[in-house]
Structure 1
């Protein structure tokens, strides 16, 4: 690969990284073409980028984006996500379906280096939409209880007259 092509790849990845909430590194060894296509399709549907690039170029893009890089060994796929939890869930669910492949090497979340355990913890958290629906449900139940209490007081006052 020519140096200009490498520079272009690094610049493209750097651009994607600058708007990302999370970057996860995966080892896709053992996945066949059909599984990789399925994984990429799921990521694309969720609005997540999945890039397979040489480790040195990936780390160069990460460092140029102002993030701290890690040392990477072996084949690496880079997951670039605006929603860290949704991407972690997708990655975790896919790995459960495919004999723990791809495996998670680590990554970056909110500018800090994270390990595989942290990514798995993120996968167990509710997504933003799920958390908002829980919050709205809680508010709704509180308002309903308040309305019922007012109605009971109204009925009690009417009964005493």
Structure 2
């Protein structure tokens, strides 16, 4: 009797378990259609994502869905070739995907995903890409904090000038 070898099934389960573990730590999961990207471009995309601390996994849709469902996340139906972006920093991942797509004829296309437990579509991923990432936001905040003492000193100086002028 012919059947699938047990090793194949356990290999699939290992992939599902590995993806499920990654999903547990993720702030965001984005699904992409990488159709039209050659090996060189796929390698470049993976390199950029890895440099940003983001995982990119190409896996059969049924396995990806099983991992997503077993992790407790809600997901949409996946069709066609799918690359799964798993990120602890969803904004940085969205930026890398968006920038790469701009340079490569809008590929990979974002099918949708999950950000902080909420379903997102391609338009929302583009909006997330436009937001400042954590480092940029902290930099803006630090710049604001650094300007407070200077504004206070200027206000004191203006008040001093005002008081001296009224005497």
Given the two structures, how large is their TM-score scaled by the length of structure 2? 0.90
1-10 or 92-101, which deviates more:
1-10
145-154 or 42-51, which deviates more:
145-154
Structure 2 residue 14 is the aligned partner of structure 1 residue 8: yes
Residue 139 of structure 1, CA deviation: 2.1
Paired position in structure 2 for 1:58? 64
Paired position in structure 1 for 2:90? 84
**Structure 1 unaligned spans of 5+:** none
Matches within 5 A, 1:86-105: 86-105=92-111
Paired position in structure 2 for 1:116? 122
Paired position in structure 1 for 2:77? 71
Paired position in structure 1 for 2:47? 41
Q: Deviations over 1:83-111 (max 9, x none)?
A: 01000000000000000000000001111
Paired position in structure 2 for 1:23? 29
CA RMSD of aligned residues (A): 1.6
Pick from 123, 145, 148 the counterpart of residue 139 of structure 1. 145
Q: Deviations over 1:36-82 (max 9, x none)?
A: 00000001110000000000000000011110121000000000000
Pick from 32, 39, 52 the counterpart of residue 38 of structure 2. 32
Q: Deviations over 1:110-150 (max 9, x none)?
A: 11111111101101111111111111212222221101222
| Partner secondary structure for residue 2 of structure 1 | helix
| Partner secondary structure for residue 74 of structure 1 | coil
Q: How many residue pairs were aligned?
A: 161
Inter-partner Cα distance in structure 2 for 1:26 and 1:160? 68
**Structure 2 unaligned spans of 5+:** 1-6
